[in-house]
A and B are shown apart, each in its own frame.
Chain A
Amino acid sequence: MRAPRPESPQFSWCGESYVTIRLFSEVDIWSVAAVLRLQQQLAESDVARTIIAMVPGWTTLLLWLDADVVDPSAVERTIVSAVSARAEREIEFESRVLTLPTVYGGEGGPDLEFVADVNGLSVDDTVERLQATQFAGMVSFSPGMANCMWIDSSDALTAPKYDSPRTTTPPGTVGLGGSSISLYSVATPGGFQMVGQLAVPIYQPRPTLPAFQDSPTLLRPGDRIVLRAVGLDDLTAIRKKVACGSYRYAIEPGSCRVADGELTWT
């Protein structure tokens, strides 16, 4: 997979504490990898001490800066040089692989058949594609909510979004809108097609499972996610383990290396 030609970063400053850095005008796995890479470069740069927080988007990185000490031109210079080094400098960001048991269709996934129809596939083939590895580019909007895209775009499905928005979407819903998958963590309004339901939580503000001891959110930007189909028998066993606090998530360490315009997943 070759990287597209880099675009020069666009800066949009607002308020006295924020700058949105736009790296690409279209979303794909390269734009997301470029954003995560820039985030890591800035965390290691001289201007890091003036950055309070960073929020990766599909094509943008939002910086929240300490307005009392920030030097906007130094920030811009650092970003321009970090981005221009893209082709030369090898960089690796963490990319764990998490396998999350998912029940497709039924009550938690009422739109599965509609999505199969829209994509001209059988329900079985649709579920097969939904289980292909996803890349969580953004963990955003609500706590621990992951917004993912297919790593191999030939597996990608599409579905209309926001046609008839719901006032609430149950936590754990797997939603498809456009060509991205959202994993809902808390009840929020939503306009994605509901294709399934996670059998395990991805957000625990008061942890009962060991995976949430250090953070109430499970997923991080850069993670790879496999939404593995489980049947109702498995579901009962998994739910029991979650309820008694003994469920162990399948999490493999891994990384994504960006070098010479190639993405390598390990």
Chain B
Amino acid sequence: MLVLAPGLSSTLQDHGRRTGLDSGIPPGGAADDYAYHLSCLILGNPVGAVAIEHVLKGGCYRALASVTVALTGADMTATVNGTSIPQATPITLKRGDVLETRVARRGCFGYLGVAAGGLACDRIFGSASTYLDGQLGGLHGRMLKAGDVLGLDSGRAPLAAMVEAPDEHTYLCCPPSQLRFTRGPQHEFFDNAAYAAFTAKPCRVSPRSNRVGYRIDGTPPSVLPVPRTKDTGSGPTDIIEEGNPIGGIQIAGGQEIICLGRDCGTSGAYAKIGCLIGVDVSRLAQLAPGSRFRFTEVSPSQARSIRAEYRAVLSEVAQRAGLASATGARTLPTAPPPPSEMTRAREE
């Protein structure tokens, strides 16, 4: 495919890295992991197949050979040679066809998946995910630009037949009205009244948001006085530097609410009132700037059952596609490398 117009901040993404975190390299991966996974399943691709991620605005591409694609995530009013095409459905382009995706009318992050194994690009630590701040992965660590030619990854054979999944797509990728979190890691900074106030009023996603972090316009929670050490800064929410969880809800300078995205710094020194559940890290990616939502607290066991529900939906699609092993939540081909292999990768 030839890139005719690249969109705003379009990058190549996959399921992200499992290694590199203790070297300061964030996990990355598709901002909406469920939309990405669904695009793999629809096209019969293994998870890890490389897709194009569009943010707020799509791009324009010409097929240089016959190729099948699918669109998931944000609805960017796609057309082929000017004729509308549906989301979450395999669409075959003939040589010379022009695929265009426009400004998102619903959602924020959209995925253009490509059948026959996905797109070819740089891989590091087992992932092709583009990390712009580190100029790593994807297409030379950068955004797509007009004139780029994207080829197929010949090393990744399709696993299964192609399927349509419009209903599952609606379920998985619809912009949420609430984002669910659990307390921690610095819950001792915040009392019950602070949690009640934090969840009572609606918030908005700020336009100053990206894959690194989502700034949230809302009322910051009140903070309890906390003992200082020589290694904490002087701000009310300053803590000793520690590892950052993806989805962590940081209160910067006691004032600013920031949800940590998949490209966030691997460590930070601001207190976190909570952490979004994994499903809602993806759902946050479908809240366009200005969208209103509420934070809702859930327990860790509720977080696990919500995760299981989402996995089950993906699993159903996998079964329909004829993935032989698709019988439960653990059957999707997403298994991270075993820890021994992780360690070895670093040592090498």
Contact = CB atoms under 8 A, between A and B. Distances in A.
A167 interface: no
A12 B184 contact: yes
Contacts of B124: 216
A179 B265 CA distance: 21
23 contacts: A15-B278, A18-B245, A18-B275, A27-B229, A27-B230, A49-B339, A53-B22, A54-B22, A56-B22, A64-B21, A67-B278, A68-B311, A139-B22, A140-B24, A142-B265, A143-B25, A143-B131, A143-B134, A144-B24, A145-B24, A186-B133, A188-B133, A217-B20
A55 B266 contact: yes
Interface of A: 12-18, 20, 25-27, 39, 43, 48-49, 51-62, 64, 66-69, 72, 138-145, 147, 161-162, 178-180, 185-186, 188, 203, 205-206, 214-217, 219-221
B24 A13 contact: no
Contacts of A139: 22-24
B141 A205 contact: yes
Interface in B324-348: 329-330, 336, 338-340, 342-343, 346, 348
B136 A15 contact: no
Contacts of B136: 143, 205, 216
B268 A141 contact: yes
A13 B234 CA distance: 26
A18 B266 CA distance: 13
A152 to B, nearest CB: 17
B248 interface: yes
B278 A16 contact: yes
Interface in B170-190: 181-187
Contacts of B21: 53-55, 64
A20 B240 CA distance: 13
A51 B23 CA distance: 17
A26 B231 CA distance: 8
B332 to A, nearest CB: 10
A25 B229 contact: yes
Contacts of B231: 26-27, 58, 178-180
Nearest to A61: B243
A51 B311 contact: no
Contacts of A67: 278, 304, 307
A143 B23 contact: yes
Interface residues of B, number: 62
Contact of A215 (B184, B244, B342, B346): B346
Contacts of A140: 22, 24, 241, 243, 265-267
Interface string B257-272: 0000000011110001
A219 B25 CA distance: 12
A65 to B, nearest CB: 11
A171 to B, nearest CB: 11
Nearest to A50: B339
Interface in B220-237: 229-231, 233-234
Given A49-B339, A53-B19, A178-B230, A16 B346 contact: no
Interface string B271-298: 0101111100000000000000000000
A15 B131 CA distance: 23
A143 B266 CA distance: 9
Contacts of B311: 68
Nearest to B335: A66
Contacts of A25: 229
A43 B303 CA distance: 26
B245 A14 contact: yes
Contacts of B304: 16, 67
A15 B182 contact: yes
Contacts of B241: 57-58, 138, 140-141, 147
B147 interface: no
Given A58-B231, A143-B136, A216-B136, A15 B19 contact: no
A69 B311 CA distance: 13
A131 to B, nearest CB: 23
Contacts of B182: 13-16
Nearest to B249: A14
Interface in B1-45: 18-25, 27
A53 B23 CA distance: 11
A214 B330 CA distance: 31
B161 to A, nearest CB: 25
